[in-house]
Structure 1
Amino acid sequence: MTTVLTLPVLLPMLGAAVTVVGSRSAALQRVVGIVVLTAVAVLAAVLLVAADERGPVVAELGGWAAPVGIALVADRLSALLLLVSTLVTLAVLVYAIDQRIADYGRGTASTTFHPMYLMLCAGVSLAYLTGDLFTLFVAFELMLTASYVLITRRTGASRIPAGMTYVTVSLLSSLLFLTAIALVYAATGTVNLADLAERIGTLPGGVQSVLGLMLLVVFGIKAAIVPLHFWLPDSYPNAPGPVAALFAGLLTKVSFYALLRTETLLFSRDKPWTLLLVLAVATMLVGALGALVQNDLNRLLSFLLVSHIGFMLFGLAVFDAAALSGAALYAAHHITVLATLFLVSGLITRRTGTVSLDEMGGLARSSPGLAVLFAIPAMTLAGIPPTAGFVAKLALLQAGAAAGLGPQVVAGVVILASLLTLYALVRVWVRVFWGKPRPPRPDEDPTDEVLVGTARTSMPMYAATAGLVAVSLAIAVFAGPLTVLTGRAGVDLIDRTPYVDAVLGAQEGR
């Protein structure tokens, strides 16, 4: 099982190397990407079953025992998010291949899309599975380096400022992260998370607060927590459609996972975290209100992405097993639903030739299948019963209602933000799918391989989007078992003992 634990990281790296060597064969690159991600999804499912039945699975790399060596750890939370994230990356890759964005620059020149895509997937897997802070930093750098290439490929003059903003903010957050790791090591002499769980508590309270706030700022930037969110609504809408879907589905949730893991494992609390409750309220409301005034479909979805990060922050801020269980379930649902909505946005843009809501209309008659593909994730994000979004929000509301006055007030904001989300998505529904049909705008670049303003949308793009819709529906159908699973994960996060014992127990004779 420890060998299986390393493969979700190694296989995408090896696949990236193969796609570089075979860069002249588009078919080879496509097959390698799909096979590798399918294998990683299977491995993630195996790890999830093993972690749920036996507890955290640990691999000590190079034969060096923790805390000296690097440990990979799969517990219920990390394995669940790894499985859902891999399913999303697989669907987005199929979509991108069919849209031919993966073949930008094709001809005799090699393409960088497939190697960078697989390296990003390797970084995501490593971020979920790593057991120490410095390797977590390496994982983020893998993701971000690949994302720099993906977000700036085929970039025109209008997209350069947004790409520069994304790169600059990412580099700044990485610098802060490295500084935080250095301070943690200086104070404790270790960067192993399980070891830190025992050593952080021996530090003076002020030092603990500073380290906790530094990690909150670092991951707050990466997760787009208000007021550190300013970069996201300008960056994601300017990325190519599948890239925006991948980023929206994964990057902010990986950052939230890192925040959830570090804050629960390293910093013990016996009451709700007031600062994070305030940030959760600000994130929910600023994102939802920002979405209401957008006419650009992708910017609207980007603001809703920001808003719903606040829902997960609320679960972390309450800081008990039930709330953390709700946050974990919400993260799994949010990974799928935001990626799906960005893929649907790409299909809409392909049909209409524009992202402006004012220039769309009548798609319900000309493309009823597309209307269904939008309606289901839209209802899920808004939390309409009996979708996965409703189940996850209900878990958060129940936890907030039982946690005291502060969380109860924030629970009311959750309801308000959900209503604002519903209103924003109803506006999209009315403008895009009803009203008078509008002629598609012509493609501004007829030589571009991505066809827009045309009805020619092939079935694999629809199938990939429908596959993610099916994953979202499966989360709702299996909400009972998933809630039980995330409930056990929430207990483990609060207890911390299963994680620490799995990593450190062998050499300490526990």
Structure 2
Amino acid sequence: MTWLVPVPVVLPLLGAALTLLIRRHPNLQRAVSLLVLSTTVAVAIALLALTATGDPLTVAVGGWAAPLGIVLVADRLAALMLVVSTSVTLCVLIYSIGQGLADGDDAVPVAVYHPAYLILTAGVTNAFLAGDLFNLYVGFEILLAASYVLITLGATPSRIRDGTTYVVVSLLSSMIFLTAIGIIYAATGTLNLAQLAGRLDALPGGLQLALQSMLLLAFGIKAAVFPLSAWLPDSYPTAIAPVTAVFAGLLTKVGVYAIIRTQTLLFPNGPAADLLLVAALLTMIVGILGAVAQQDIKRLLSFTLVSHIGYMLFGIGLASAAGLSGAIFYVVHHIVVQTTLFLAAGLIERRGGTTDLDRLGGLARLAPVLGVLFFLPALNLAGIPPFSGFLGKLGLLQAGVAADGALSWLLVAGSVVTSLLTLYAIGRVWNLAFWRTPHPEMPPDGGPVPRRVLPRLMVGSTLALVVLGTGLTVVAGPLSDLTSRTAVDLLDREPYVHAVFAEEVP
């Protein structure tokens, strides 16, 4: 069944080409996009089932064996990320179709949207499956090229301005990554991750630290790690709601995934672990303080997105099985919940005419279904028991206590403070937007165009993600067991290396 491995990359690319050819037929475009992403989700689930035993699946593209050829590797971590990411992209696609049908696609050129969206999906899946650093770079560039198009759809002045910031920062990150790739190849003669796992250990300590730092810098920008995160709250909120949601849910997590993969496979005993813990603490605290100060819901959610990247770095920096397991669990949780909240924010903007907290109010009475769609993922993000957000944070706190170091205890305290401030920020949104009396400037219908009834596809897709996010609590036991076994494999490195070469490569 190794032929399934490249399908999540190839299928969206073929779908993008087809939707571009039929750009004059929007209904057919929508059908093709839905079919492609639905099939990709099914393939991702099959890959997760096939890798559940712990044996990764590999494919040498074009028949060129590693390390000369391009290798795609689906292990437990990659397969899990594929399932979550493709499920989320499918739900967001349905949301965007509902928005387009309701608005007549006036604001968004649908002929461009579907090809770009499928190319973005292909870039994300390629990054998860990449078995060498250069192919990982290619995955990043594919998704970034598509994101440049998506973030500026509609071509409003604010989207062009903020999209330019996003492009410049992304190019800087790519330049750093490509420079690191060049130095690594010059020092080791390979870019294959499995082969690098053996060769990097033989390099001098100073050179290892320099290479590790360059990769962390490149991935830290992509993951919006403080102090490399200032671009995100200014870039994401101006895009259309579906684009903002998929960016918030996925793009930063691809950076986190790259950190997990390189830290465990290439630098398992690297000296930068303490640096990651410091960055985690600062990312948590600075991000959530920024969220508390915001008056716009989308900007507030953007700052919470930055803040909660710190939880993932916390688990990675601990470099223990428990820490990595907690980090992976939290990545899965956060992809679903953060995407859901941004979709809900899009519904709030549609129903209330704005996302400015000073101009909202009474939505719990005017749109009770919308209240539920925001309330449940908001509690989940804040880490209220028994939701998956609480369980993920609890796992990270237990790993931090078990590490029993000064930095880990500081991270435990910072995690608790961040969780409490997240609850305060989310509670403030609920109080001002949903609970208080409607603002005098907010007409009962939510704007000059009557929008009492929200489009069913938009509500249904958001509801599907709410159910998925809540369902993570129900399957928390099996999911935690899967992430624990995944963490053990990552720290062992042998299953990954043997899957690529059938024997350890020095």
Q: Same fold (TM over 0.5)?
A: yes
Is the contact between residue 56 and residue 496 of structure 2 (CA under 8 Å) also seen in structure 1? yes
CA distance in 2: counterparts of 1:390 and 1:89, whole angstroms: 24
Distance apart, 1:172 and its partner CA: 1.0
Is the contact between residue 324 and residue 487 of structure 2 (CA under 8 Å) also seen in structure 1? yes
Task: Give the match for residue 189 of structure 2.
Answer: 189
Q: Per-residue CA shift, 1:10-35, capped at 9, x if unaligned?
A: 11001001101111111111011111
Distance apart, 1:493 and its partner CA: 1.1
Task: Return 243-252 or 429-438, whichever deviates more.
Answer: 429-438
SS across alignment from 1:354: coil
Distance apart, 1:474 and its partner CA: 1.5
Is the contact between residue 97 and residue 103 of structure 1 (CA under 8 Å) also seen in structure 2? no
SS across alignment from 2:259: helix
Distance apart, 1:454 and its partner CA: 2.7
Matched ranges for 1:398-417 at <5 A? 398-405=398-405, 406-417=407-418
Matched ranges for 1:381-420 at <5 A? 381-405=381-405, 406-420=407-421
Give the total of aligned pairs.
501
- Among 461, 482, 485, the alignment partner of 1:485 is 482
Q: Per-residue CA shift, 1:228-257, capped at 9, x if unaligned?
A: 001000000111111000000000001100
Task: Give the match for residue 427 of structure 1.
Answer: 428
Distance apart, 1:268 and its partner CA: 1.8
Task: Give the match for residue 202 of structure 1.
Answer: 202
Task: Give the match for residue 62 of structure 2.
Answer: 62
CA distance in 1: counterparts of 2:335 and 2:450, whole angstroms: 28
Task: Give the match for residue 463 of structure 1.
Answer: 460
Matched ranges for 1:79-94 at <5 A? 79-94=79-94
Q: Per-residue CA shift, 1:347-388, capped at 9, x if unaligned?
A: 000011111001000011111111111111001111101101
SS across alignment from 1:313: helix
Match status 1:505 vs 2:502? yes
> What CA RMSD, in Å, does the superposition of the two structures yield over aligned residues?
1.9
Residue type at the aligned position of 1:429: W
Task: Give the match for residue 161 of structure 1.
Answer: 161
Residue type at the aligned position of 1:434: W
Task: Give the match for residue 51 of structure 1.
Answer: 51
Distance apart, 1:158 and its partner CA: 2.6
Residue type at the aligned position of 2:67: P
TM-score normalised by structure 1 residue count: 0.95
Q: Per-residue CA shift, 1:389-442, capped at 9, x if unaligned?
A: 111111101111000222122111111100000000000000011111236658
Distance apart, 1:464 and its partner CA: 0.2
Is the contact between residue 353 and residue 452 of structure 1 (CA under 8 Å) also seen in structure 2? no
SS across alignment from 2:58: strand
Match status 1:111 vs 2:116? no
CA distance in 2: counterparts of 1:187 and 1:105, whole angstroms: 53
Q: Structure 1 294/181 Cα, relative in aligned 2: closer, same or farther at 3 Å?
A: same
Task: Give the match for residue 345 of structure 1.
Answer: 345
CA distance in 2: counterparts of 1:110 and 1:258, whole angstroms: 31
CA distance in 1: counterparts of 2:15 and 2:37, whole angstroms: 9
CA distance in 2: counterparts of 1:350 and 1:337, whole angstroms: 20
Distance apart, 1:167 and its partner CA: 0.7
SS across alignment from 1:73: strand
Is the contact between residue 350 and residue 453 of structure 1 (CA under 8 Å) also seen in structure 2? no
CA distance in 1: counterparts of 2:17 and 2:187, whole angstroms: 39
Q: Structure 1 293/267 Cα, relative in aligned 2: closer, same or farther at 3 Å?
A: same
Is the contact between residue 361 and residue 437 of structure 2 (CA under 8 Å) also seen in structure 1? yes
- Among 470, 473, 479, the alignment partner of 2:470 is 473
CA distance in 2: counterparts of 1:77 and 1:270, whole angstroms: 21
CA distance in 1: counterparts of 2:120 and 2:158, whole angstroms: 25
Distance apart, 1:65 and its partner CA: 1.0
SS across alignment from 1:226: coil
Q: Structure 1 480/313 Cα, relative in aligned 2: closer, same or farther at 3 Å?
A: same
Is the contact between residue 440 and residue 453 of structure 1 (CA under 8 Å) also seen in structure 2? no
SS across alignment from 1:53: coil
Matched ranges for 1:191-340 at <5 A? 191-269=191-269, 273-340=273-340
Match status 1:374 vs 2:371? no
Is the contact between residue 73 and residue 131 of structure 1 (CA under 8 Å) also seen in structure 2? yes
Q: Structure 1 23/204 Cα, relative in aligned 2: closer, same or farther at 3 Å?
A: same
SS across alignment from 1:66: coil
Task: Give the match for residue 439 of structure 2.
Answer: 438
Residue type at the aligned position of 1:330: Y
Q: Per-residue CA shift, 1:33-55, capped at 9, x if unaligned?
A: 11111111111111111111251
CA distance in 1: counterparts of 2:203 and 2:459, whole angstroms: 54
Task: Return 478-487 or 155-164, whichever deviates more.
Answer: 155-164
Q: Per-residue CA shift, 1:455-487, capped at 9, x if unaligned?
A: 241111100000001111121100000000000
CA distance in 2: counterparts of 1:232 and 1:160, whole angstroms: 15
Q: Structure 1 402/196 Cα, relative in aligned 2: closer, same or farther at 3 Å?
A: same
SS across alignment from 1:237: coil
SS across alignment from 1:457: coil
SS across alignment from 2:378: helix
Query: What percentage of aligned pairs have identical amino acids?
Result: 54
CA distance in 1: counterparts of 2:10 and 2:503, whole angstroms: 25
Distance apart, 1:110 and its partner CA: 7.0
CA distance in 2: counterparts of 1:126 and 1:191, whole angstroms: 16
CA distance in 2: counterparts of 1:54 and 1:436, whole angstroms: 55
TM-score normalised by structure 2 residue count: 0.96
Name structure 1 gaps, 5 residues minimum: none
Is the contact between residue 40 and residue 86 of structure 1 (CA under 8 Å) also seen in structure 2? yes
SS across alignment from 2:5: helix
Q: Structure 1 292/62 Cα, relative in aligned 2: closer, same or farther at 3 Å?
A: same
Distance apart, 1:507 and its partner CA: 9.3
Residue type at the aligned position of 1:500: V
Residue type at the aligned position of 2:296: D
Q: Structure 1 366/106 Cα, relative in aligned 2: closer, same or farther at 3 Å?
A: closer
Distance apart, 1:160 and its partner CA: 2.4
Is the contact between residue 212 and residue 272 of structure 2 (CA under 8 Å) also seen in structure 1? no
CA distance in 2: counterparts of 1:272 and 1:23, whole angstroms: 48
Residue type at the aligned position of 1:414: S
Task: Return 219-228 or 59-68, whichever deviates more.
Answer: 59-68
Distance apart, 1:287 and its partner CA: 0.5
CA distance in 2: counterparts of 1:232 and 1:364, whole angstroms: 29
CA distance in 1: counterparts of 2:502 and 2:106, whole angstroms: 52
Is the contact between residue 352 and residue 453 of structure 1 (CA under 8 Å) also seen in structure 2? no
